[in-house]
Amino acid sequence: MKEYTQTPWRTDEKWHDEPFQAIKISGPEGSIGTICTVWMDDAPVLDFNYEQRENARHIIKCVNNYEILVKALKGCTEQLEINDSNFKCMDNNAADYARKTLIRLEK
């Protein structure tokens, strides 16, 4: 897997001490730089809409939970493979799906 900024990522909804001009996504406390910036729409209201704010928060949630979810999926895959070898008569599509998902995630 390629290198990326350590987690946990966080959001900051202030820019140059002014609220609501941009939502910055940054790395852990004390890290240097901004990962990305979500700019406010050109709407006449100087505030982010609900969807923009929730999208930024969703990005953070996904990134911060990625590693634990991959670890959980690997554990489930191992258990499914053990069960598959014990019960050869079972059609174990779940194990196949989990393996394919892990391959996709590790690209």
Considering the domain boundaries, does residue 5 fall inside one? no
Considering the domain boundaries, does residue 63 fall inside one? yes
pLDDT digits (tens, 9 = 90+) for 16-58: 566 556 788 889 887 878 888 877 665 555 556 677 778 888 8
In order of 13, 26, 35, 86, 91, the CA distances from 32 in angstroms are: 17, 8, 9, 51, 50
Question: Can you give the pTM of this predicted structure?
Answer: 0.68
Q: How many whole angstroms separate alpha carbon 86 and alpha carbon 97?
A: 19
Considering the domain boundaries, does residue 1 fall inside one? no
pLDDT digits (tens, 9 = 90+) for 60-106: 999 998 888 888 888 888 887 776 665 554 556 777 788 888 888 77
Considering the domain boundaries, does residue 66 fall inside one? yes
Strand ordering across the sheet containing 18-26: 10-15, 18-26, 34-39
Considering the domain boundaries, does residue 2 fall inside one? no
Considering the domain boundaries, does residue 96 fall inside one? yes
Question: Based on the structure, what is the number of domains in the chain?
Answer: 1
Q: How many whole angstroms separate alpha carbon 93 and alpha carbon 96?
A: 5
8: nearest Cα among 59, 51, 49: 59
Considering the domain boundaries, does residue 56 fall inside one? yes
Q: State which residues form the domain around 36.
A: 10-105
Considering the domain boundaries, does residue 100 fall inside one? yes
